[in-house]
Amino acid sequence: MSSRFRGLDAANPNPNAESDPSDSGVRRTIIDLGDGSEVLYIPRFLPSERAWAWFHYLDKEIPWTRPVIHVFGRHCLQPRDTCYIASKGLTDLKYSGYQPHAYTWDEYPILKEILQAVHEAIPGSTFNSLLLNRYKCGSDYVAWHSDDEKLYGPTPEIASVSFGCEREFLLKKKPVKEEGIWIVDQLPKKRLKTSYQEQQSFMLKHGSLMVMRGYTQRDWNHSVPKRAKAVSVRINLTFRQIV
């Protein structure tokens, strides 16, 4: 695959995507990223009104914090609010020198309802932990990273539910080393203005579900970049399975 796509949605289908409405009639699109990496996107996973009710609950009731993290040798404020939920007895999550307190599912029963909706949409998948992010405005973001921590195993599945302000979600292929040389691009350089790496872009809609599977965490980085036009709050829930 050697292409770069923008704003995947029904009006702008990705040529690498297979689209098939599920039994429930809700459209789902599978994007084959190649080499065992895959993204599933369900734009209308939740009815809009229910998603707004859950957005308001989460915005108000979740004990959001904005922790100090340690990246590239510097301490800085994480550029978004966060909260963490995990079943009891699991390995602690730690990222960028920060170990979030694990709240329990029982403390936030609505999160169990959302988890159940996710489990119903993707039968056979199970999740036992949840990282919540709140982006207050367009200058809140998440930098390029992958969720490839050992505690998620070699092929983590991550289910991401979005509420509120629509934001762009980018995926970029990690550079690979071949015979001691870093290969960052298989594309002719003249064709691309800004980046030589394979990139995918999604507009994650209010009430949508996006699932990253297979080797996506091993082979791709993802980010939610700053966007001046994003003027309202977005809440994102990423469900994960600690093995």
**Residue 147 touches Mn ion, criterion: CB under 5 A:** yes
**Residue 142 touches ligand AKG, criterion: CB under 6 A:** yes
CA dihedral sign, ordered 42, 124, 158, 171: negative
Q: Is 7 annotated as a binding residue?
A: no
Residue numbers 175-214 binding ligand AKG by CB under 6 A: 204
Smallest separation, CB 183 to ligand AKG (Å): 25
Q: Is 222 annotated as a binding residue?
A: yes
Q: What number of other Cβ atoms are within 10 A of residue 226's Cβ?
A: 16
**Residue 45 touches ligand AKG, criterion: CB under 6 A:** no
Q: Which is nearer to ligand AKG, 205 or 222 (CB)?
A: 222
**Residue 131 touches ligand AKG, criterion: CB under 6 A:** yes
Smallest separation, CB 98 to ligand AKG (Å): 12
Q: Which is nearer to ligand AKG, 14 or 133 (CB)?
A: 133
Q: Which is nearer to Mn ion, 197 or 217 (CB)?
A: 217
160 binds, among ligand AKG, Mn ion, none (CB under 5 to 8 A by kind): ligand AKG
Contact set with ligand AKG (CB under 6 A):
131, 133, 142, 147, 160, 169, 204, 222, 224, 236, 238
Residues at the annotated binding site for substrate? 72-74, 148
